[in-house]
Amino acid sequence: MVNILVKIPLEGEILNALSPKELDKDYDGAIEDYNRALESNPNESINYFCRARLIYRYENDIRKPDYEGAIKDFSKSIELNPKEWIAYYFRAFVMFHKYKDYKSAIEDCNNTIIHNPEYYLAYILRAQIKDRIKDYRGAIEDYTTALEMEPNNINLFKSRSEIKEKLGDYLGSFEDKRKAMPLDPKDARYYYCEGWIKYYQGNYREAIENFTLALRADSQFTASIIARGVTKIANGKFDEALQDLHIALELNPDCEVALGLGDKLKLWLQSKFNNGETFLVALPLGNNFDQLNFHIDNAKYLYNEGKYQKSFSHLEIVFKTGYFSPAFLEQIGDVKFRLKKYNEACDYYGASIDLGLTDPSNNLNKRTLAKRHMSFFKRTERDIPFKEYDPFSWKTLHSLNQVESAHDCKCIGDARYDLGFYTEAVEFYSKALELEPDYSDAIKARERAEEKLNDHPGA
């Protein structure tokens, strides 16, 4: 079995140095060839590199990936030839994906680019690392540089789109999504993206036209019906907007966005002539980007400071404009969760899933976690089950000493497992078994988490 973590095109001196056995996929034989070559000439940097490439990627029934050995070989190759740019790149890849050593990985990417500034894969890897450490603007710069070298790489547009959305640049995000799609009359997603671009530019007429074209291509595209309804609200066509929201609910009766927005609009229509209340509609992003970003950025800052109610106050201002995106709705869900309003958190996570074009698994996990808490509170009739429980960003496991029962530990373990923190999940399941050794559900849960931990070391 070969575990190929990444396929990198090789050329020139490196390609010439490869063992013929590697080209024939006889990887054990190739590793032996590199061993013999290094015994006869221990100062040949390229052979350390070639061996390292195999020993961290190749595994069979006997051989396991040797990450530490690969790091030593990449480092030896660099020591012998400080300009061996490809060794820097591969070492960065292993340091990032295996060891989560982001600082060292970025330094190696920098050295790769210094010695080979045209190697676009180094910019992509550095962008991925910057994304992980939340240097989103730096990530966008690197993806942009890579796109200058690979202008037809649609995956780069998709990646840059996701980063722009995290920054709140929804116009730029949808522009990149559109560039990643061919102009195809049968592709509803293309017109959906084009519709949001026109919406954020304040061109509501063309936005509605594009959302309609998306629905002609796919009449079951609920997100496009909702988007058209939101645009009609922004354009003052409230009755038509209600019709679209009704259609969306017929297709998806559980759609939280259509339910919430429809109810809000109905109440306003009933009261507007009595009290002169104005319905707050969507602001065109092109003219109000700084204003909206001010509130979104302040909300993020206050959230990180633990001031969740103040954070929500800023998000509420933006929400009342009708300004929707998957990332923004997820952000509200996170705040609602911290405020222990789990039912509302479920609604916002669900709304984010309804609107999203990207992988919804993260929000599905968060919604599951919120539902767990709703159920937990109902069973125990407590206000706060765990004093310092933060489901998204723990730095320590000091809360282990604050839970009161094996069931509490099992519940926290399930939550950590849902979010992919398998080491912490094992810790809590083990604590549950210390309190109740025969707790069968905790035994099974710990075995499941340990299996995941074997597949994802360090998670």
**Which DSSP string corresponds to 20-41?**
HHHHTT-HHHHHHHHHHHHHH-
Give pLDDT, residue 274: 44
Q: Tell me, what's the pLDDT at 388?
A: 33
Same domain membership, residue 409 and residue 360: no
Same domain, yes or no: 372 and 388: no
Sequence-separated (6 or more) residues with CB below 8 Å from residue 161:
172, 173, 174, 175, 176, 177, 180
Task: Provide the 10 A C-beta neighbour count for residue 109.
Answer: 29
174 within domain boundaries: no
Q: Looking at the structure, do residues 340 and 270 belong to the same domain, yes or no?
A: no
pLDDT at 101 > cutoff 70:
yes
**Domain range enclosing 261:** 188-275
Residues 242 and 295 in one domain: no
105-152 per-position pLDDT tens digit:
999 999 999 999 999 999 999 999 999 898 989 999 999 999 999 998
Q: Please tell me which residue, 58 or 291, carries the higher pLDDT value.
A: 58
- Based on the fold, state whether residues 304 and 235 are members of the same structural domain: no
Q: Per the domain annotation, does 111 fall within a domain?
A: yes
Domain match, 362 and 398 both: no
Per the structure block, which two tokens stand in for 176? 């990149």
29 and 105 within one domain: yes
| Helix/strand/coil for 2 | strand
Number of domains in the chain: 4
My answer on whether 19 and 107 are in the same domain is yes
Choose one of 331, 362, 378: the last residue of a domain: 378
Helices (H), 320-403: 326-338, 342-355, 361-380
pLDDT of res. 375: 53
Q: Rounded to two decimals, what is the model's pTM?
A: 0.57
Name the most confidently modeled range: 68-82, 163-177, 422-436: 68-82
Q: List pLDDT tens digits, range 252-277.
A: 877 766 666 676 666 666 655 444 44
Cα separation of 188 and 210, whole Å? 9
Question: Measured over all CA atoms, what is the biggest interatomic distance in the chain, rounded to whole angstroms?
Answer: 93
pLDDT of 377 above 50 = no
**Which neighbouring-strand residues pair with 2?**
58
Could you tell me if residue 171 is inside a domain? no
Closest CA to 169 of 2, 296, 44, 68: 296
102 domain residue, yes or no: yes
Q: Do 287 and 367 fall within a single domain? A: yes
In a domain, 141, yes or no: no
> How confident is the prediction for the chain on average, in pLDDT?
76
Q: What pLDDT was estimated at residue 282?
A: 39
In degrees and rounded to multiples of 5, residue 164 shows phi and psi of: -60, -35
Stretch 139-168: mean pLDDT: 91
Task: Say which CATH number the domain at 367 has.
Answer: 1.25.40.10
| pLDDT value of residue 391 | 37
- Range 199-223 average pLDDT: 89
Answer yes or no: is pLDDT of 293 > 80: no
Output the pLDDT for position 121: 93
* 294 and 340 together in one domain: yes
Look at residue 440 in the predicted model and tell me its pLDDT. Answer: 83
Tell me if residue 112 falls in helix, strand or coil. Answer: helix
198 or 420: which leads in pLDDT: 198
Contact (CB, 8 A) for 228 and 251: no
Report the distance separating Cα 52 and Cα 58, nearest Å: 10
- Residue count of the chain, please give it: 459
Residue 22 structure tokens:
């590697």
Nearest to 447, CA basis, from 397, 400, 412, 413: 413
Specify whether 295 is located in the same domain as 341. yes
**pLDDT band per the 50, 70, 90 thresholds, residue 5:** very low
Cα separations in angstroms, 363 against 124, 214, 419, 455: 25, 25, 10, 22
Domain C-terminal end among 353, 378, 403: 378
**Residues 388, 373 share a domain:** no
For residue 244, tell me if it sits in a domain. yes
Please report whether residue 169 resides in a domain.
no
Say whether pLDDT at 295 is over 60: yes
In this prediction, residues 358-385 reach a mean pLDDT of 52
Residues 210-234 have a mean pLDDT of: 88
The residue from 74, 92, 116 where one domain ends is: 116
Residue 121 resides in a domain: no
